[in-house]
Amino acid sequence: MVGAAALLRPVERERERPEQAGGRLLDAIGFGCYLLLPMTLLIGLDVVAHGHLTPGGGFQGGVVLATGLHLVYLAERYRSLERLRPTAWYEFGEGAGTALFVAVGLAGLAAGRSFLANVLPFGTFRALLSAGTVPVLNIVVGCAVGTGAVVLLAHFLETEAALTRTPPTMLAAIALLVAGGAAAGVAVGLVPGFAAAAGRAGQIFADRAGCLGQVLYGAPPRPPPPVAARWTGSGVLYGVASTLLAGAVAAAALWLPSGVHERARRSRPIVDLLHRLHSGHLGDYVAWLLAGAAALAAALAGLLSAVPG
């Protein structure tokens, strides 16, 4: 979140590039984008729906869904993309997904267990409707990540209204995370029973064998060993120092004078070279994408050939 906000902030001598007339997208690229659009969306839905059975999950599937939607933009149909992604609805979807994730976590606490503990039947092993609340979490995470990525990319693409300050929604998310962490830390020492409950939840979370037994085989949960949760000087010092350091890094990224960033960028010729490679031409990006995919395929082929049998 801090990285996205830092990228969106304007820097010194930043100017909007005027739209250049001329140039036309190759028919093969446009056809490929339209061909891959439904396939990418289906793959994204499959990654979300089968995240508890195969490699994937809500985060990965949400990124795939957001990427697939922007194939319309690569096909030089930005107006069509605008109709497909009304940002107000996607902002609502991001908030709803985050709220539902918290609601599923609180359901575990309401059932007398830890946050995000399973409260649904496990079902049949390797069946689609199995693994308890894991598929539900995949769906809500996919919704939050997919819609959030669309909103983030919309800020990058809408150059007509250049950002002059960090969006308040990004600052609010950072502030809520810091405030939530601070409140949880204070609650350990002030709220009766909170420290013991947090210690038990941590023990359950760290019990890998017990977690695998519950998720994969439906084994009953094992009672965690007693934990003596108390304040320590080193713990308080570590928590305060890490919080202040994280705040300092975020503040430097968001509010450091842009001239400092410019001088740092000029002092690194390699970064400047990589920056110049971003020409802004769609054909160049497609060429780099294909080159990267070919390199990745070659690397995977080399790894697979080295595996015996």
Tell me how far apart the alpha carbons of residues 261 and 267 are, in angstroms, rounded to a whole number: 10
Please report the pLDDT score of residue 161 as a whole number. 47
Q: Could you tell me if 239 and 185 are in contact, meaning their C-beta atoms sit under 8 angstroms apart?
A: yes
Domain count, the chain: 2
**The last residue of a domain, from among 217, 237, 258:** 258
**The last residue of a domain, from among 225, 241, 258:** 258
State pLDDT tens for residues 218-230. Answer: 677 677 666 666 6
Please report the pLDDT score of residue 283 as a whole number. 62
Indicate if the alpha-carbon torsion angle 169, 140, 199, 196 is positive or negative.
positive
State pLDDT tens for residues 246-263. Answer: 878 877 766 666 555 555
Q: Give the amino acid at 281.
A: H
Residues 189 and 241 in one domain: yes
Residues 167 and 278 in one domain: no
Please report the pLDDT score of residue 85 as a whole number. 81
Residues 115 and 38 in one domain: yes
Whether residue 74 is contained in a domain is answered as yes
Phi, psi torsion values for 123, nearest 5 degrees = 75, -165
Phi, psi torsion values for 130, nearest 5 degrees = -150, -175
Tell me how far apart the alpha carbons of residues 117 and 127 are, in angstroms, rounded to a whole number: 20
Residues near 10 by beta carbon (within 8 Å), at least 6 away in sequence: 162, 163, 164, 258
Whether residue 55 is contained in a domain is answered as yes
Residues 117 and 224 in one domain: yes
Our CA dihedral for 272, 278, 284, 290, rounded to 10 degrees, sits at 80
Burial class of residue 196 in the structure, from the number of CB atoms within 10 Å of its CB (0-12 exposed, 13-18 middle, 19+ buried): middle
Tell me how far apart the alpha carbons of residues 57 and 141 are, in angstroms, rounded to a whole number: 8
Residues 201 and 304 in one domain: no
Residues 250 and 290 in one domain: no
Tell me the whole-structure pTM to 2 decimals.
0.56
Tell me how far apart the alpha carbons of residues 148 and 155 are, in angstroms, rounded to a whole number: 11
b/e string for 34-63 if b means 16 or more Cβ within 10 A?
eebbeebbebbeebbbbbbeeebbbbbbbb
Whether residue 18 is contained in a domain is answered as no
Interior CA angle at 217 toward 214 and 219, to 5°? Answer: 50
Whether residue 16 is contained in a domain is answered as no
Whether residue 268 is contained in a domain is answered as yes
Whether residue 21 is contained in a domain is answered as no
Residues 229 and 270 in one domain: no
3-state class (DSSP) for residue 167:
coil
Tell me how far apart the alpha carbons of residues 299 and 275 are, in angstroms, rounded to a whole number: 25
Q: Could you tell me if 132 and 122 are in contact, meaning their C-beta atoms sit under 8 angstroms apart?
A: yes
Tell me the CA distances in angstroms from 13 to 162, 258, 262, 264, one per residue in order. 13, 9, 9, 15
Tell me how far apart the alpha carbons of residues 21 and 99 are, in angstroms, rounded to a whole number: 45
Whether residue 215 is contained in a domain is answered as yes
Q: Could you tell me if 149 and 66 are in contact, meaning their C-beta atoms sit under 8 angstroms apart?
A: yes
Whether residue 12 is contained in a domain is answered as no
Residues 93 and 183 in one domain: yes
Residues 115 and 60 in one domain: yes
Interior CA angle at 176 toward 170 and 178, to 5°? Answer: 105
**The last residue of a domain, from among 258, 275, 292:** 258
Residues 188 and 91 in one domain: yes
Please report the pLDDT score of residue 149 as a whole number. 87
Regions of the chain with pLDDT less than 50: 160-162
Residues 173 and 77 in one domain: yes
Residues 195 and 285 in one domain: no
Domain that holds residue 180: 2-7+27-258
Structure tokens at 11: 């820097």
